[in-house]
Amino acid sequence: MSSTFFGLTIAASGLNTSQAQINTTANNISNVNTNGYSRQVVNTVASSALRCYQSWGTTGTGVEAESVTQRRDLYYDEKYWNNSSALGFYEKKEYYMKQIENYFNETNLDTGFTTIYTKMFNAMSTLQGNPGDMTVRKQFTSTAKQLTEYFNQLSTKLDDLQSSINDEIKTAVDDINSMAEKIAILNKQINIIEQGGGHANELRDQRAVLVDKLSKIVDVSATEKKVKNSNNPDMETGATYYQVYINGQILVDTYEHNTLAVVSRELDQNHNQSDIDGLYEIVWTVDGNKFNATPSGNGGELKAMFEVRDGNNNENLHGVVTATGSDTITVSYPTITDINELNMPTRGSLDVNNKEYTYNSFSYETDEKGNITNITFYLNQGLTVEEQGNLISKKLQAGDDVDYMGIPYYQNQMNLFLRNFCEAFNKIEIGAEVYDANGNAVTDINDIKINEVYDAAGNVIDDQEKLNSIINTMGVDLNGDLMNAFFIAKDKIDLNVEHQMRTDITSSTIYSAGDVDDDTRKYESYYLLTAKNVSIAKESDRDAGAFATTTKGNYTDGVDAAHLVEDLQRLQGTTKLFRGGGGDSFLQCIYADVTVDTQECNIFTKNFTNISTTITEQRMSVSGVDEDEEALDLMKFQNAYNLASKCISVFAEIYDRLILQTGV
């Protein structure tokens, strides 16, 4: 049977519960603008009924505030994380692509490609009418040098952007490690509180904010499981296992967290010819295994950084291993057969049979049409006999496949245009060539003697009439001296060294800078020429008269002939130099590439921003604090509090009558 004063206890429970609800509502209202705060609610239950041994059996004992918990929905959290990764991916990519677009944009008409390119050919037209005028010649060489400097500067800007992205990758890795550590610490604090019977709502909010931030950098998923009592599986301990995964790999495992580290690539681990030195790879600190950001599903900022920094549009070299040696691998059926399209670094990495090898140089051979038939890589490590056999017929990949038109792609496109253009230009300027016994081009007319020089195929020229015919087709400068290459490549180590490329070589070995003497490197393929090092020959820069406008057969004192200039002018737009078009279409092709990607990023950024707004609204409908709703709750709980107070007042009158006014 209940106590005489039992009603007071019931009313007091209602009073206390209403007070807790009012306090929680006040806390919600106070945090209405707090980032990451989730609305809290008081969970109430009816107190256990009391048996009173009467016909009705039991009587109610009031209300209990069971817990104060936050309102969250994991479904909306996961939708938010997935969309945040996609949004971060396209936002970051759009940011970088707009910079690349600005580099190629001709907003400044004085320094744009079209202006400089047209100016050079206009100067060439003037030169055609006055081939002996030194002022006109100087004007032409100046515009030609301006063209090479345009590409030098553009390549440097892309290098700087690649370096900037590289630094941002390190910053992103530091942020991931910092958030992982904080999440692990919060997991422990949450479990300590909740094992004691409480609910760590504010700490859970802090953890959720960290996961939200993490989702913009990488793909994120999180799981939480309750910890059971090992002696009683049906009994919960109050603690939970909380795990966070990035790109499918575990980052946080409750109280423990893994860390990432950045490791600079060695010189023989570059993936593209144009890559700057020291690009970072990400590895797990615990075991050194590589963390690959690019295969992730939705993306994240980290994936965008790697795609723009390393994107080569899957145009790196592939082939099949057909021969091996103790320290060599030879591939045939290469996917790149044009020497001018070669984009692999002089020294880099190879992937064969799921194993990485590094090489310090390579050589190639061509067929009669100049197409590459096989490439031999000279490795830094030795191969066992068994390993040599296992590699035969295996597919080889040079560098890494990144299916995006990023910085390496645009560098390679500039290199391809310049190699085709400079090769065609130099070929017209120089004309035919003869070579000494060492294969070096003879540039002094007095050294060209019968039975002492060779043609491009290596055959000795033993017929004077044939030799005279060849000499007459060779370009000569203002003084009648044989023309050397006008466009050259500066050496990577010593800028004073100029490399004279040759178009007729059927095989060549590409050495790393500084590995061999200058004489051995004097004549190499156009692979050596890039946007970074292209220039005009110092001789032509110092002396405008060193430029050839005619051939030896048409030369008269003062160079009044200019038929070579007529051939050179066709390079402006008539001769096919780049993607099936003339040189003047270069910028159109490149700008089309970059603008399409930039517009795509812009469209997807807007789409995912709109989706983010919708998801956030759905998320906030569950966990957000609504001022109007809280105001209604405040009035409701206040009314309940007042009614509970009224109950206590009624019971006070009852007890007053019972105690003071009843009895004898």
pLDDT class of 663 with cuts at 50, 70, 90: low
Q: What is the DSSP letter of 298?
A: S
Closest CA to 574 of 410, 421, 419: 421
The whole-angstrom separation of Cα 402 and Cα 453 is: 47
- Find the mean pLDDT for residues 4-20: 88
- Find the mean pLDDT for residues 90-116: 88
Question: 50 is written with which tokens?
Answer: 């009391």
The whole-angstrom separation of Cα 96 and Cα 233 is: 53
Question: 296 is written with which tokens?
Answer: 């992730």
The whole-angstrom separation of Cα 569 and Cα 583 is: 11
State residue 516's pLDDT score: 46
Position with higher pLDDT, 119 vs 3: 119
- What is the share, in percent, of the chain residues with pLDDT greater than 70? 95
Q: In a 3-state reduction of DSSP, which class is residue 55?
A: coil
Contacts of 469 (CB under 8 A, 6+ apart): none
pLDDT class of 514 with cuts at 50, 70, 90: very low
State residue 432's pLDDT score: 84
Q: Tell me the β-bridge partners of 441.
A: 435
The whole-angstrom separation of Cα 646 and Cα 78 is: 47
Closest CA to 17 of 55, 56, 43: 43
The whole-angstrom separation of Cα 120 and Cα 117 is: 5
- Find the mean pLDDT for residues 336-364: 92
State residue 456's pLDDT score: 76
Position with higher pLDDT, 424 vs 556: 424
- Find the mean pLDDT for residues 129-144: 92
Q: In a 3-state reduction of DSSP, which class is residue 193?
A: helix
The whole-angstrom separation of Cα 520 and Cα 513 is: 12
The whole-angstrom separation of Cα 100 and Cα 98 is: 5
The whole-angstrom separation of Cα 353 and Cα 374 is: 19
Q: In a 3-state reduction of DSSP, which class is residue 59?
A: strand
pLDDT tens, 432-450? 888 888 777 888 888 888 9
State residue 646's pLDDT score: 93
State residue 368's pLDDT score: 84
Pairing of strands 260-264, 256-257: unpaired
Residue 407, pLDDT > 80, answer yes
Lowest mean pLDDT among 118-132, 505-519, 546-560: 505-519
pLDDT tens, 81-102? 999 999 999 999 999 999 999 9
Question: 651 is written with which tokens?
Answer: 């019971």
Residue 519, pLDDT > 60, answer no
Alpha-carbon torsion (618, 619, 621, 626), positive or negative: negative
Phi/psi zone of residue 313: left (φ > 0), alpha (ψ -120 to 50 degrees), beta?
A: left
The whole-angstrom separation of Cα 381 and Cα 324 is: 13
Residue 108, pLDDT > 70, answer no
The H or E element containing residue 661 is none
State residue 440's pLDDT score: 79
Give yes or no for a contact between 490 and 498, defined as CB atoms under 8 angstroms apart: yes
For residue 608, the tally of other CB atoms under 10 A from its CB is 23
pLDDT tens, 282-334? 999 999 999 988 876 778 999 999 999 999 999 999 999 999 999 999 999 99
Phi/psi zone of residue 42: left (φ > 0), alpha (ψ -120 to 50 degrees), beta?
A: beta
The whole-angstrom separation of Cα 441 and Cα 456 is: 9
pLDDT tens, 220-266? 999 999 998 878 877 888 899 999 999 889 999 999 999 999 999 98
Question: 204 is written with which tokens?
Answer: 């859970």
State residue 517's pLDDT score: 46
State residue 518's pLDDT score: 45
Position with higher pLDDT, 571 vs 658: 571
Q: CA 180, 183, 187 angle in degrees (round to 5)?
A: 140
State residue 296's pLDDT score: 65
Q: What is the DSSP letter of 269?
A: G
Indicate the pTM of the whole model. 0.90
First-to-last CA distance in the chain?
Answer: 26
The H or E element containing residue 531 is none
- Find the mean pLDDT for residues 22-44: 93
State residue 436's pLDDT score: 83
pLDDT class of 168 with cuts at 50, 70, 90: very high
State residue 420's pLDDT score: 94
> Could you tell me where the DSSP H helices lie in 431-514?
464-472
pLDDT tens, 587-634? 899 999 999 999 999 999 999 999 999 999 999 989 999 999 999 999
Alpha-carbon torsion (248, 250, 252, 253), positive or negative: positive
Closest CA to 314 of 182, 448, 405: 405
Residue 351, pLDDT > 70, answer yes
Q: On the CB side of 531, how many CA atoms lie within 13 Å of its CA?
A: 25
The mean predicted confidence, pLDDT, of the chain is 89
Contacts of 393 (CB under 8 A, 6+ apart): 320, 321, 322
What one-character-per-residue DSSP string does 498-520 give? EEEE-S--SEEEEPPTTSS-HHH
Closest CA to 282 of 252, 296, 253, 302: 302
Closest CA to 14 of 642, 654, 655, 653: 642
